[in-house]
């Protein structure tokens, strides 16, 4: 069945209005500009970007972005056909041209003779990282999170005007990062600035503490460029710029004392009312840094595990009907039995 343009447009608008990050679904190939549907969709994407602040990540597949930007080669040929077809609607053509130029100016991915499998892996990796940094979730979307959140909020004590550093500590895989992310999303409207530094251990190993200091400042002071070249200078700038600002900072997956010393230093680096949340597996690290309190999440209760298994089994049965669930009940019961109380 062929859907009308208006129905597809309404569906697209619904999708975009609920998206925090938009990845351009239609790859920019050499035939892209010939499709009036693709260009109309592109206009809507650009509108959402400009009006709602949505992110756009273009993928240039077997086409040079500069050809789209300048509308040369195939793009020029395509618009010649459009202008002939839509002689009475020059405004439509201009909207298409403007949208194409704007998106072609956005840094995205260009195949450019790379191996396609490597190209795809690179896209997936980088988009996943972006989603982890920006995707907003609320505790109502997560099973079994209500009690841990309430316990954590008691320790954070957001109503007080002091500066508090709170640790979330426990073994890997028990939900420390998820808990910190939910708390961060819930509390951030109450602060003048915010920063969530994900997987500090890995980022520090790959890019160094200097990059993390710049990321912290850039997330809090949007649009500012920070040019410093050593960690000591970075610490000085952080303490100076944030000392009178009420901020919320999450340091995720910390495993080194230097991470804390260079990124959050002392309480007086931050303005009154600031809250710093640190997730780590190392309780000794938190105690040495004299954090104000430590929350240690427990394993899921058996009741919550049963709920999660039920929900996942329902989702799987609904969406992946070809999967055999012959032994699913046995597997689920065994999993519940092994869950620590």
CB 251 within 8 A of CB 200: yes
What are residue 201's phi and psi, to 5 degrees? Answer: -55, -50
pLDDT in tens, 34-88: 888 888 888 888 887 777 667 788 887 777 788 888 888 888 888 888 888 888 8
- For residue 333, name the pLDDT band (cuts at 50, 70, 90): low
- Which of residues 276 and 333 earns the better pLDDT score? 276
pLDDT in tens, 141-195: 455 677 788 889 989 988 788 999 999 998 887 889 989 999 999 899 999 999 9
Fold agreement (19-113, 124-317): yes
The architecture in CATH of the region 19-113 reads 3-Layer(aba) Sandwich (3.40)
Q: How far apart are CA 273 and CA 101, in angstroms?
A: 45
CA distances from 180 to 31, 145, 149, 164, 287 (A): 45, 11, 9, 15, 19
Residue tagged 């699913």 (tokens): 328
From 41, 116, 192, 202, active-site residue: 41
Task: Go through 147-163 and write b for each residue having 16 or more CB atoms within 10 A of its CB, e for each that does not.
Answer: ebbeebeebbeeeeeeb
pLDDT in tens, 264-305: 999 999 999 999 999 999 999 998 888 999 999 875 555 455
What per-residue confidence (pLDDT) applies to 329? 54
Direct distance between the N- and C-terminal alpha carbons of the chain, in angstroms, rounded to an integer: 52
Q: Which fold has domain 124-317?
A: Rossmann fold (3.40.50)
- Which of residues 290 and 236 earns the better pLDDT score? 236
CB 167 within 8 A of CB 288: no
- Which string of DSSP letters, residue by residue, matches 26-69? S-B-TTGGG-HHHHHHHHHHHHHHHHH--EEE-EE-SS-HHHHH
Interacting residues of 151 by C-beta distance below 8 A, sequence separation 6+: 295
Regarding pTM above 0.85, the answer is: no
CA distances from 284 to 92, 145, 171, 322 (A): 63, 26, 13, 48
| Domain ranges within the chain, ordered by starting residue | 19-113, 124-317
41 is annotated as an active-site residue: yes
């Amino acid at each position: 069945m062929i859907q009308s343009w208006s129905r597809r447009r309404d569906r697209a608008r619904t999708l975009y209005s609920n998206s925090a990050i938009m990845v351009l679904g239609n790859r920019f190939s050499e035939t892209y500009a010939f499709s009036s549907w693709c260009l109309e969709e592109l206009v809507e994407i650009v509108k959402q970007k400009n009006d709602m602040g949505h992110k756009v990540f273009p993928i240039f597949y077997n086409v040079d972005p500069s050809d789209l930007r300048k509308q040369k080669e195939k793009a020029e040929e395509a618009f010649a056909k459009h202008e002939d077809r839509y002689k009475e609607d020059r405004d439509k053509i201009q909207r298409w041209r403007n949208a194409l130029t704007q998106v072609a100016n956005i840094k995205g991915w260009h195949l450019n003779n790379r191996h396609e499998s490597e190209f795809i892996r690179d896209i997936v990796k980088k988009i996943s990282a972006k989603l982890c940094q920006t995707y907003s979730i609320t505790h109502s979307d997560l099973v079994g999170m209500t009690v841990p959140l309430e316990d954590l909020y008691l320790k954070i004590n957001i109503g007080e005007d002091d500066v508090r550093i709170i640790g979330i500590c426990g073994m890997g895989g028990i939900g420390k990062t998820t808990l910190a992310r939910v708390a961060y999303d819930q509390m951030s409207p109450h602060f003048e600035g915010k920063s969530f530094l994900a997987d500090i251990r890995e980022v520090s190993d790959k890019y160094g503490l200097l990059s993390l200091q710049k990321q912290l400042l850039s997330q809090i002071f949007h649009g500012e460029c920070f040019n410093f070249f050593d960690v000591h200078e970075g610490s000085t700038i952080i303490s100076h710029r944030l000392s009178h600002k009420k901020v919320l900072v999450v340091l995720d997956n910390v495993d080194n004392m230097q991470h804390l010393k260079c990124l959050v230093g002392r309480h007086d680096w931050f303005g009154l009312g600031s809250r710093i949340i640190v997730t780590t597996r190392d309780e000794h690290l938190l105690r040495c840094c004299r954090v104000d309190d430590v929350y240690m999440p427990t394993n899921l209760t058996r009741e919550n595990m049963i709920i999660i298994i039920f929900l996942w089994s329902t989702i799987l049965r609904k969406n992946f009907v070809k999967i055999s669930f012959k032994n699913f009940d046995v597997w689920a019961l065994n999993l519940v039995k092994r869950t620590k109380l």
